[in-house]
Amino acid sequence: MANLYKRTLTSLVSTVSTTVFTVPTATSAVVKSILVSNSNAGSTVAEVLISPTGVGSHIIIPAETIATKGFVDFAAGWDRNPNVLVLEAGDLLKIKVTTADVVATVSVLLIDRN
């Protein structure tokens, strides 16, 4: 099995849920960080969703307000204990925001299952 670190950078230009990462075929993904940055003049609310194998959408991290010129790492956990999110082949990681022009950066470890 080969391991590969990957980072995606997505501009969230709409207030509908946007796919920020898709797990490739025959791969598992360990999500290290889900950083959402708000450079707008006002606050925004963001939530993280997952679509298992691309079907449906389930909120996995509920809505959180991101202050003006602020950011939130949704995978940071509580009390500074990092959380890990494991995704399987075909899973979609999505983010929905209430204000457009927000940026999401996702860092993952991809594990090839072949």
**Mean pLDDT, the chain, whole residue set:** 91
Mean pLDDT of 63-83: 82
Whole-structure pTM value: 0.90
pLDDT of amino acid 78: 59
Closest C-alpha among 113, 59, 60 to residue 90 = 113
Does 108 have pLDDT greater than 90?
A: yes
Strand-pairing partners, residue 48, are: 61, 95
